[in-house]
A and B are shown apart, each in its own frame.
Chain A
Amino acid sequence: NAGVTQTPKFRILKIGQSMTLQCAQDMNHNYMYWYRQDPGMGLKLIYYSVGAGITDKGEVPNGYNVSRSTTEDFPLRLELAAPSQTSVYFCASSLGPGTGFGAQHFGDGTRLSIL
């Protein structure tokens, strides 16, 4: 029972490089989310998706892009890495409206450093 799987767990990038953070869930959840967590700041929503082919911006989308071609996968792309994107990134999924409302399942995170 894997739940939400994020890869890689750690990564160091140079300024200007690009990379994709992978997220996959095996719970058949329609809703998926990307957050960043900075010390003392809680979690900020970057992008979210309510189903395959549907994505929307969250609170802090600048510098990131997403796609959702399948229900299972929701990759996050950084095109031109900047030091301000040093953070811990979490992917989450949920059933969406109904009994699962607000009950998000989180991956273990990707720790990203931009140097």
Chain B
Amino acid sequence: AQSVTQPDIHITVSEGASLELRCNYSYGATPYLFWYVQSPGQGLQLLLKYFSGDTLVQGIKGFEAEFKRSQSSFNLRKPSVHWSDAAEYFCAVALTYGGSQGNLIFGKGTKLSVKP
């Protein structure tokens, strides 16, 4: 069955440090992958998506993610974290078949805290 695993529940980084959030997926077909961000008290916002082609995708707010088929991973990265990046981050895979196509399967999320 399709699933998304985010191994880290909570990560703390210092402002200005680099960031990598891990995501592993299980999906039988070619995966369509997404990262969403949720600030406290708000809904989710799309950061970036991967459909095909270049395995390194750029998103909003300076984030990027790399698709690695051999590792079934889609890790999110940022070279230098800002205090405003403190939020919860969700990785997701889209179903691509039948009447459920477009439905998203979400990971459980990684909460990012940023130290001054």
Contacts and interface: CB of A to CB of B under 8 A. Distances in A.
Interface of A: 4, 31, 33, 40-43, 45, 48, 50, 56, 58, 90, 92, 94, 96-97, 101-109
B43 A103 contact: no
Given A42-B109, A43-B106, A56-B99, A101 B32 contact: yes
A100 to B, nearest CB: 9
B102 interface: yes
6 contacts: A43-B106, A45-B104, A56-B100, A90-B43, A97-B101, A108-B42
A108 B94 CA distance: 22
A106 B49 CA distance: 16
Nearest to B108: A42
Contact of A102 (B41, B45, B102): B102
B104 A104 contact: yes
Nearest to A95: B102
Given A45-B103, A101-B32, A103-B49, 14 more contacts: A43-B106, A48-B103, A58-B103, A92-B44, A94-B102, A101-B102, A102-B104, A103-B34, A104-B44, A104-B46, A106-B45, A108-B41, A108-B43, A109-B43
Nearest to A98: B102
A43 B103 CA distance: 12
A61 to B, nearest CB: 13
B43 A102 contact: no
A97 to B, nearest CB: 6
Contact of A42 (B45, B51, B90, B99): B90
Interface in B68-106: 90, 92, 94, 99-104, 106
Contacts of B90: 42-43
Contacts of B56: none
A21 B20 CA distance: 36
A51 to B, nearest CB: 12
A57 B22 CA distance: 30
B78 to A, nearest CB: 20
B32 A102 contact: yes
A105 B90 CA distance: 14
